[in-house]
Structure formats: C-alpha cells, structure tokens
Structure 1
Amino acid sequence: MKYLAILVFCVAAVSAQYEMAPIVQASFNEVRHNEADILYNIFKSYPGIQARFPQFAGKDPEEIKETAEFAIHAGRIINFISEVLSLAGSPSNLPAVKTLLNQLGESHRIRGITRSQFDDFHKALIGYIQTHGTWNDEISTAWNRVEINMHKILYAALDGHPIN
C-alpha cells in the first residue's frame, strides 16, 4: 500500500508539471518578442553574466543593445527557451527536452558557467516577465514547478552527469 501511495504521488507530481507548462508558455509568449530588451535587462541586472559573453564583455549595454550582433544573440537565447518550453508540455517530448538541456549544460560547463550564473539569469528573466507581462500566484507557481524540473536536468549536465 505504501508503494502505491508513493507511485500515485509521483504520477500526480509529473502530471502537475505538464499541466503547468501551458501557463508558463503563455506567460513567456507575452514577452518573448522582446529578445534584445530581455537580454539587455539581464545584463543590467547581473553584469557578471554579460562578462561571460566574450563578444559583449566590457562593453556598455547601452551601446550594444541596438546592434545587430546583440539582437541576433538575444534571439538565439530566447528561441532556445521558447523551444524548450514548447516541448515541456508533453510527456512524449521529455527525451527532446533532456537532449536540449543536456547540450546546454555541457556547452556551458566547458565555458566555466556556474549554477549561480544560471540562477542569476533565471532571476533576471523572471523579473522581466513579472514587470512586462501578466504575473500572479498561479503563474509564479507554474514557473517554479517547471523550472525545478528543468534545472535538475540542466544542472546535472552542467556538473558533467547528464540525465538521459
């Protein structure tokens, strides 16, 4: 009986995660077309993150935010987040989500990016969404649940132990 209760709890937790994905997707879709503004705000909030981008390190965010290079890179980042979030709503897409997050973790591990820097990026992104889109307790809960699961995969890869 105890194992059945644990199984039911696990299934409920996974189901809740997939149910939260549309809320997160809708929230992100409200701001996703502001790619350069999002990255600019992340750089302004956490200058240490900007320093990790060789092409932007040491440059004034005000001067680079209108450049094509900045817009292209911001678009890549936001498109990646959009792709992962669009896949997150279906259990059948879990292998694809794991692949994308494992690749992200591995490529950033090689460059010396830390969990703390990913956490700062996430805080700045959420801060942007809160101030430029709709935000309430339900959206906050949805982002927390989806992000916890995504970060488990990302951080495992960042630590050199991808989850397959």
Structure 2
Amino acid sequence: GDVDVLKSLSADQKAAIKSSWAAFAADITGNGSNVLVQFFKDYPGDQSYFKKFDGKKPDELKGDAQLATHASQVFGSLNNMIDSMDDPDKMVGLLCKNASDHIPRGVRQQQYKELFSTLMNYMQSLPGANVAGDTKAAWDKALNAMANIIDAEQKRL
C-alpha cells in the first residue's frame, strides 16, 4: 500500500525532497504564509475550513499574525514529516495523527491534495528549491502516498 510507497522512496529521492524542502524551511513562516494565501486563491472553498480566515480576502491576510502562526503550525507539521522520512513508521504515525486532528474540521484527502498542489507550484518557483524533473517526481510520489495514508486513516476512524 501507500506505506510501502513511502518505504520505497530511494535515498536519492529522499535527499532530493529534503534538499528542496530546506529552501522552503529556511523561512517556514514566510513561505508557509505565502502558500496559504495562494491556497485560498487557488481553492476559495477551502478557506472556509479555516474559521479564523473565513470570509476574508486572501490578500488581506498577507502579514496577518494569525495566518503566520497557522502557517508555522501547518508547515512545521510537514517539516516534522519530512524529517522523519528515514523512519516511515514514525512518518505514518505523524500522518495518522494529523488525519485524526482534521476530522472534526471536515478536512479530507481532497483538501490535503489541493494544499499539496499549491505547495508544489510554489516550490517550483522558489529559488534554490530546484523542484523539477526527478525531484518533482519524488515529491509527487511522496505527497500522493501521504494523502492516501491520511485518507485511509480518516476512513478507519
């Protein structure tokens, strides 16, 4: 299954993901805030899952302290998952906890996939991230497996 997909990521694929992520993580709050603002533009319906930001224009949220805090939480969580790629069981545990935490908010696989899509588009234009070719393929493989693990866990609960 998808846990096996995570386990099947090669050392080179994991290194590529970690290397490109380092460019994002260098300013996780700033980059994360930019991604959330873009996410709300890309998928306006998904903004309603974020009660604090519901009804606000995405551009109004630039520089918003609550958005910055939330961005650091969202992408800090993803950072922990990426850090644990060499320990797939730990990574799956983090994914399952995240999946469980989001059930009461109605956030499902679709929203994760949409956020991941915005994230990848952002990272492809992020200087130093070099998300293209094999690196993009590695990200796609990992993020798809992660979204599927989240989906399976939410259906199990």
Which TM-score bucket, shorter chain as reference?
0.7 to 0.9
Q: Which position in structure 2 is the counterpart of 1:23?
A: 16
Note if 1:74 corresponds to 2:71: yes
Q: Which position in structure 2 is the counterpart of 1:6?
A: none
Which of the residues 98, 105, 109 maps onto 2:92?
A: 98
1:158: Cα distance to partner?
Answer: 2.0
Instruction: Kindly report structure 1 stretches of 4+ aligned residues shifted beyond 4 Å.
Output: none
1:30: Cα distance to partner?
Answer: 1.3
**1:1-164 map, 5 Å:** 14-32=7-25, 33=27, 34-88=31-85, 90=86, 93-132=87-126, 133-161=129-157
CA distance in structure 2 between the aligned counterparts of 1:107 and 1:12, rounded to whole angstroms: 23
**1:16 match: secondary structure:** coil
Which is higher, the Rg of structure 1 or of structure 2?
1
CA distance in structure 1 between the aligned counterparts of 2:122 and 2:113, rounded to whole angstroms: 14
1:37: Cα distance to partner?
Answer: 1.2
Instruction: Answer whether contact 1:39 1:74 (CA < 8 A) is retained.
Output: yes
Paired residues, number: 148
1:62: Cα distance to partner?
Answer: 1.7
1:40: Cα distance to partner?
Answer: 1.2
CA distance in structure 1 between the aligned counterparts of 2:5 and 2:146, rounded to whole angstroms: 17
Give the CA RMSD over aligned residues.
Answer: 2.1
CA distance in structure 1 between the aligned counterparts of 2:7 and 2:80, rounded to whole angstroms: 20
Question: Normalization by structure 1: what TM-score?
Answer: 0.80
Q: Which position in structure 2 is the counterpart of 1:5?
A: none
- For structure 2, the residue ranges without an aligned partner over 5 or more in a row are none
User: Share of identical aligned residues, percent?
Assistant: 24
1:15: Cα distance to partner?
Answer: 4.2
Question: Normalization by structure 2: what TM-score?
Answer: 0.84
Amino acid at match of 1:36: S
